[in-house]
Each structure stands twice: as C-alpha cells, then as structure tokens.
Structure 1
Amino acid sequence: RTQLFVTGITDVDSYSDTIVLCKTVCGDMIIEGENLHVLELKLENGELQLQGTITAITYTKEENERKTGGFFHRLFR
C-alpha cells in the first residue's frame, strides 16, 4: 500500500518515517511502515493522509470501553 486516508482522527501524538501514533474517536491507532510521510492532516475534519509502505495498523480500545468490557463482552453476556 502506498497511500492511506483515515477519518476520525482527533490528534497525532507523534510520527516518524516508521511509525505514526494517532488518537481517534474510537481509541488509539498505531500505523507502522517504512518511508511514512504525512501528506495532509486536518484535525478540524478529523482527516489524515499518509504515504509510504504500511506494514501494520493497530487499534487500542478507549479506557472506558476496557472497563465495561466493550461490544463483544456485552454481546456474549
């Protein structure tokens, strides 16, 4: 993959050419890869556009969702 367009971004904690750490409306997101470049960041619209070789995208839950167990915990109760 050479380009990635993400919506729901509320903040970018840090970025380098190998990792981008973002906050989204659904929790934290970690984008890993090589030669990553932020092409466009519009926090007012919640948009992020990256270019580079993306090797992994990881999401972590919001803190309040961890305490309640999240969607699947409620589904299988």
Structure 2
Amino acid sequence: MEKVSSLINYLIGLVLMWFARHTPQDIAFMVGSGVALVTLVINVATFFINWYYRRRTWELQQALAKGKGYEDR
C-alpha cells in the first residue's frame, strides 16, 4: 500500500511541477491546440464517413434507375 501511495504522490508532484513551470497563457495555448487538433480529426473522419455513405446512396440510386434492385449487386 505504501508503494502505491508513494507513486501517486510522486505523480501528483510531477503534475504540479509541470503546472508551476508554465504560465496560464502557455497552458491555455496547449489546451486550445489540443482542442483544435481533436476538432480537425473529428472533421476529417466525418468527411470520409459522409463521402462513403453518399457514394453508397448514389450507387443505389443508379442501380434502381437501371431497374436492378439493391440485392442484384
């Protein structure tokens, strides 16, 4: 139990030392950069998901226009 509490105390100490090293402006910049990066990843993933399903919808419409059912593919 003592090893676990020592490890937790050291980790808390490291986090507090890291926060003390940076100004609030630095931390805000890092958090903002992280949020922007996550937003970019979500938008890129959404783009490819939408592209895939729009392509599938277009293929289905083309198949139905030719008189084929979706099952005939």
TM-score, normalised with respect to structure 2: 0.23
Indicate the structure with greater helix content.
Answer: 2
Task: Return the structure number with greater strand share.
Answer: 1
TM-score of the pair, normalised by structure 1: 0.22
Which one scores higher on RCO, CA 8 angstroms, separation ≥ 6?
1
